[in-house]
Structures are given as structure tokens and as C-alpha cells.
Amino acid sequence: MNAKHNPLRHIPDDGVRHLIMQLLAWMWGIMFSVWMGSMWVFGVTAIAHIAILAAIIITVATFEVAKRKPDSFTKK
């Protein structure tokens, strides 16, 4: 998850790019913690799988917006 090698590199503001990387890192850390802690309970595991898929979708969408409209992350 190096911002110099992913679509977030298109965001001109280093602070905003760093903040988005931190938010994505926290999201993924929480998702893996949820998954590991609920591995033996099917209902919770099913919810964890949905959450992980949502995290993937959010990450891809964030990268696409950063690639196509990098200025949307900065104040105008």
C-alpha cells in the first residue's frame, strides 16, 4: 500500500493522500480483526465476509476516484 505505486499518487496534496492511506489501513486492520475473531461462528463470519467485500469495493472506488479526479480530495 505505497501511495507512490497506487492510484492515490494522483492526489496532489501529501497530507490528504496520507490521511486516505491511514483510513484505508485502519479499515483493513479492523476487517481482518473481525474475520480472525469470528472464524468459528458462521453468522458472524458471513457478516465479516460481507464487510471484507465492502472494504475491497471502497478501496477500489477510492483508488479510481484518485486516479480519475485527484482534485476531488482537496479543498477548492
CA 55 to CA 69: how far, in whole Å? 21
User: How far is it, in rounded angstroms, from Cα 24 to Cα 73?
Assistant: 15
Task: Confirm whether 29 is domain-assigned.
Answer: yes
Judge whether 30 lies within some domain.
yes
**Relative orientation angle of helices 42-68 and 14-37, to the nearest 10 degrees:** 160
pTM exceeds 0.75 for this model: no
Count: domains in the chain = 1
Inside any domain, residue 7? no
**Structural domain contains residue 72:** no
Residue 28 domain boundaries: 13-67
Please give the pLDDT value at position 47.
83
Instruction: Indicate the DSSP class of residue 7.
Output: G
What does the pLDDT read at residue 54? Answer: 94
Per-residue model confidence (pLDDT) at position 66: 92
DSSP 15: H
How confident is the model over 28-64, as pLDDT tens digits? 887 887 777 655 566 677 788 899 999 999 999 999 9
Enter the C-alpha cell of residue 44. 458472524
> For the chain, first and last CA: distance in Å?
27
